[in-house]
Structure 1
């Protein structure tokens, strides 16, 4: 009797188990607010971003040799989803770009774009100064150059700065006063060296000691030894003028600034004749022609501080009132 009860219980349990197996277990639906593919077209194909759903990032590795300033990504989404904004080009140095995906059910998901430039590092610069001698740069001078292993010849991707004690950067801007701004490449001491020339010290900069900092896309480096910014021998822009007796005219500098402007004069009948300096700033001066100055064409000379006299290669033509 006991065996029959045991057999009956087993049969009941078996039937119950089989009945339970017939039930369908429901699965959570997949989110419909995802970025499923992120790619950027390059000269030899496409580069795909790595999408991490855990930390919601898209990491894009860009080799430096493509020399991209911006990327124009192609983005695929979950079926029925859309982006919160129309995709637009993204600067390769942008560190704040995000994408928000809106699903058909209005649920959202945001991804942060992380662009990693695969540059050759570290960035190494050629020192301008030494431990004992600081290189001097004149305020406004446009003959500064920086050298290093930039591995890039695009002047738009290289930035050079003078940096003060408060870590404020002052950019050395390209100048065309001495020639076309460009990056040249040469073997120096057996090392492939890039030279970025014709950079100008800001005309508004204070004199003093500054660090030199260079940025090449995502890389940054500083020279070990600082440089010294000083007032140099000023220059005056080429500019022949014609002016009446008793009137004023202006002279300007696009390079080394005016400092300690002492005299501006011409020679009349063998005699030094002062043309009064009415006012001057670092970049401009106002000069007056005396009422009694005889009409004629004269070559002016300027005196600044203790610098040698600056005889100009253009003329001042004086006419009658």
Structure 2
């Protein structure tokens, strides 16, 4: 009986000691003071367009409605208290069409009040449908021949490119399709800015010999933020 009582006392003491142990509270880490908290584009006709911020990846993903035909964006940027950002709040990011079509990077560097830095890359995209371009040379072994224009004699050799989902020129906004000629190494040799295009066709003149040497070229169409390149080449030569 005495042994039983001793065991009960020991068990009670153990439980009491356990109950009296202090519970440790682990504080969450303080938030970084070099963060971009919000990013929104304000130079749009309707409600502001917000970017999705990913602190872990260091990205700001911005999806622009293509029908705004923006050529520049003016963002309103909110950062951590006491932090600064470069390029700064409200600084215009221009030449958006080139950045969208060529993938040119825009990076924001945030400097916290403690001097720590974080970089956010702006990932730009639009809801513009992909474009498609029809081949001028159905048979790659028998490329279509295009003859140089000769501005000195006012001889301009025009031809048409067909496809779908081209953006008609927006002259007042400076939105035009471009026609690039890529050599056999894939390098752009010449690009023409075109002002005569519709949803499914683009009219243009063959460049002069001074602009584009004779040779085989694949043609790439860029319409606002989308590009499409012909698989088969055309042959450019002087008549």
TM-score (ref. length: structure 2): 0.76
Q: Which residue of 2 aligns with 1:138?
A: 148
Give the total of aligned pairs: 219
| Counterpart Cα distance in 1 of 2:208 and 2:157 | 9
Unaligned runs of 5+ in 1: 175-180, 186-191, 233-321
Change (3 A) 1:9 1:29: farther
Q: Which residue of 1 aligns with 2:182?
A: 163
Q: Which residue of 1 aligns with 2:47?
A: 45
CA contact (8 A) 1:172 1:199 kept: no
| Counterpart Cα distance in 1 of 2:33 and 2:189 | 48
Q: Which residue of 2 aligns with 1:126?
A: 134
Q: Which residue of 1 aligns with 2:163?
A: 148
Q: 2:196 aligns with which of 183, 192, 195?
A: 183
Bigger radius of gyration: 1
CA RMSD between the two structures: 2.8
Instruction: Write out per-residue CA displacement over residues 166-196 of structure 1, whole angstroms, 9 at most, x where no aligned residue.
Output: 222122434xxxxxx62343xxxxxx51324
Report the Cα offset of residue 45 of structure 1: 0.9
Unaligned runs of 5+ in 2: none
Larger helix proportion of the pair: 2
Report the Cα offset of residue 128 of structure 1: 3.2
| Counterpart Cα distance in 2 of 1:143 and 1:151 | 24
Q: 1:63 aligns with which of 56, 61, 65?
A: 65
Query: Structure 1 residue 89 and structure 2 residue 99: aligned?
Result: no
Q: 1:12 is paired with a residue of what secondary structure?
A: helix
Worse overlay, 56-65 or 197-206: 197-206
Report the Cα offset of residue 207 of structure 1: 1.7
